[in-house]
Amino acid sequence: MENSKNYKELAEIIVRKLRDENFETFSKSMDFAKSISSEEYWKKPRNPNLDKELQKLQDERFDFLNRLSEKDSEILKRIILNVLDSTAFNFLREIEENLEENESIGLTINGEKVENITTELLSGTLFGEYFLWLEKNSKYGEFQN
């Protein structure tokens, strides 16, 4: 059975916004921290308009990521993907559990209620579908346990 445009778009949005874009933000921080030495980082000029607490947070993040071994970096990447996947999975489970309730958050895609596309779900649930959506739509592979 061919999935509808709304089903495909929902899958792409969920994977892109709840997983891939967030992981890309993390990856950019990791890549930057690995691209220069600590000495080079501390020689870089600071933005005088940046809040001191935000600068401190950026400095701490750099130091932490810069010191990680290759193995530790890979482990941290899997942990970050796991947190993102768990968040998306739990969000979709909450929507699924409340679709028929008055407490539903009223999720729609292109004006169509999500309830109307649940007949297309191969897994039978929105949160189960997430595993399939990752395989098809994510740049970063399958669900991370």
- pLDDT, tens digit (0-9, with 9 covering 90-100), for 28-76: 999 999 999 999 999 999 999 999 999 999 999 999 999 999 999 999 9
pLDDT of the residue at 143: 87
Structure tokens at 24: 């890309």
Residue 123 CB coordination number (10 Å): 12
CA distance 104 to 31: 40
Query: Within 13 Å and on the Cβ side, how many CA atoms surround 12?
Result: 8
Q: Looking at mean pLDDT, say which of 14-23, 97-106, 115-124 comes out highest.
A: 14-23
Residues 6+ apart with CB under 8 A from 30: 65, 73, 76, 77
Q: Assign 101 a pLDDT band (cuts: 50, 70, 90).
A: low
Say what percent of the chain tops pLDDT 90.
68
How far is 46 from 34, CA to CA, in rounded Å?
19
- Inter-CA distances, 32 with 29, 58, 83, Å: 5, 11, 22
Confidence band for 1, pLDDT divided at 50, 70 and 90: low
Global pTM value: 0.86
Angle subtended by helix axes 21-35 and 52-67, to nearest 10: 70
pLDDT at 35: 97
Closest by CA to 113, choosing from 103, 104, 121, is 104
